[in-house]
Amino acid sequence: MTARAVPASKRQAGILLHVTSLPGPGGIGDLGPSAHEWIERLRAGGIALWQVLPIHPAGGGDSPYNATSSFAGDPLLLSLDDLAAEGWVGADEIAGAPGGDGGRVDFEALRPWKMERLRAAVGTWRRRARSDEHLAYGRWLARAGDWVQDVALFHALRERHGGAPWWEWPLKLRVRDPAALERAMRDLRDEIETHRILQFWFSRQWRRLRAAARRAGIELIGDVPFFVAGDSADVWCHRELFKMDEEGRPQVVAGVPPDYFSATGQLWGNPVYAWEQHRASGFAWWIERLRHAVAMFDHVRLDHFRGFEAVWEVPAAATTAAAGQWRPVPGAELLGAVRRRLGRLPIVAENLGLITPEVEALRRRFRLPGMLVLQFAFERLLDLPPRVPEDCETDTVIYTGTHDNDTAAGWFHAAPGEGSTESEDRHRRLREAVARYLGTDGKDAHRRMVEVAWRSPANWAIAPMQDVLGLGSEARMNVPGVATGNWRWRLRENDLAAADWRWLQDLCARHRRAPPAGADATPERP
């Protein structure tokens, strides 16, 4: 076993594009042919890093950050093309997916359509698979651990109860009465088996994709949200690890205080961790969660890293996050326990928002690279005296923007956002300063911003694919604080064909981010 490469330890360039945003006729990006083609395009552009959002089953609001499990893969990401090639579903059955190759994912129409075909494929597999297939499945189940059974039972029960959250199930199921669980496992045996097989297929398709990335010299960056969804297998199975009453109702919920995005803050609604219980277990749940993540990816981004120092707790009955307060978190103990069990991890800390000296001290103590986002860093141009926006340490990941930002083109041309704390005068002055700094009238602002990131001292420079293409606000992935309509943007085939990969390749070479000619670019294996 070789040591993992330290994140942001050499000059590389990356693209942020979630799997769901890949093009193709299936209504949603998936792990099949379009993902493999995408890897080859990255290589052609001299790109060595592909960053995705969480790949777990999206929950409320279709958000990958509101997943129903921190361990399972999202079945919607399974490639029906691959399953058809293996004979588990007919090619004619997978034609005509809702949304097709459109520029948006229609989750409401797509989810039942695709799940119907996945269930049919599972039925075919159970009837016709060879003995070696069943043996491989059995070996995978033995290796995967308890989370597979927990997730399968949770989703089977959720479906049996019409999609209702677990706290609305019958009392004995809510409190996980052993006799009630045993009866459910008998009654829902086929449904449970379906979900386990879907996870087996996800693992297999993911392994193929990761092997293709390694052959191409592409390193995969995953994303671990700090919080988990209340309606998740994690909370249902480990309710003692969260601040909840006996009925499963949260006492407090998570959010962030008023900031750049919103004058009233963001009320996320996730349950808050009961840290004394985590400490008493030696942080076992967190250790297994991070062990699972680093087994899936070459590197992982820890979302909301400031939560490892303190969290913004909001009374459960509050209507905005402004009513919250900071509560300390034993982050140093947690990260220390993780490091002792798993070694030094390939982690990038998302240190955005209200970052205090204590948060930065925690990050530096564990030698984790942080992030710099140009859309925020351009504020430095209004300082007295002005500062260079991309001035940062080499052990940094610099972005033009993230999934939570407007696109670079959209940000440059947008008016002040509704609910934003930014005044119209400041907004105008900042855009004028940015235009002067970039030397642009706005037509190529996205390219100039990518070039600023690529030329920066930061060893890693990453741009969302929307910024590479110069797409406007219509291509934005997420608007924080808005509950519906997010996470839907997709590349179209003609967008991908129009991408200027030669420009990216030249940019990487000019700023020393391209893999050395003739070098073995295969990332180190865990």
- The residues carrying an active-site annotation are 303, 350, 404
> Which among 522, 523, 513, 520 is positioned nearest to 45, based on CA atoms?
513
Cα 205 to Cα 73, 75, 211, 332, 463: the distances in Å are 10, 11, 10, 36, 26
CA 164 from chain center: how many Å? 24
Segments in 299-441 forming alpha helices (H)? 331-342, 357-365, 374-377, 408-413, 424-438
CB 101 within 8 Å of CB 25:
yes
Asked if residue 232 lies in contact with residue 158, where contact means CB atoms within 8 angstroms, the answer is no
What is the identity of the amino acid at 143? R
| Cα of 296 vs its chain's centroid, Å | 13
Q: Quote the tokens at residue 92.
A: 């004619």
Closest CA to 192 of 235, 153, 134: 153
Identify each DSSP E strand in 80-231 by its residue range.
219-224
**Closest listed residue to residue 184, CA positions, set 166, 196, 172:** 172
CA nearest 439: which of 447, 450, 448, 430?
448
- What does 469-507 look like in DSSP terms, one character per residue? HT--GGG----TT--SS-S-B---HHHHHHS-HHHHHHH
For the chain, first and last CA: distance in Å? Answer: 6
Does residue 59 contact residue 165 with C-beta atoms inside 8 Å?
no
Hey, what are 515's tokens? 């893999």
**Which spans in 302-407 are helix H?**
331-342, 357-365, 374-377
Question: Within the chain, what is the greatest distance between any pair of CA atoms?
Answer: 72
Residue 144 has φ and ψ, to the nearest 5°, of -65, -35
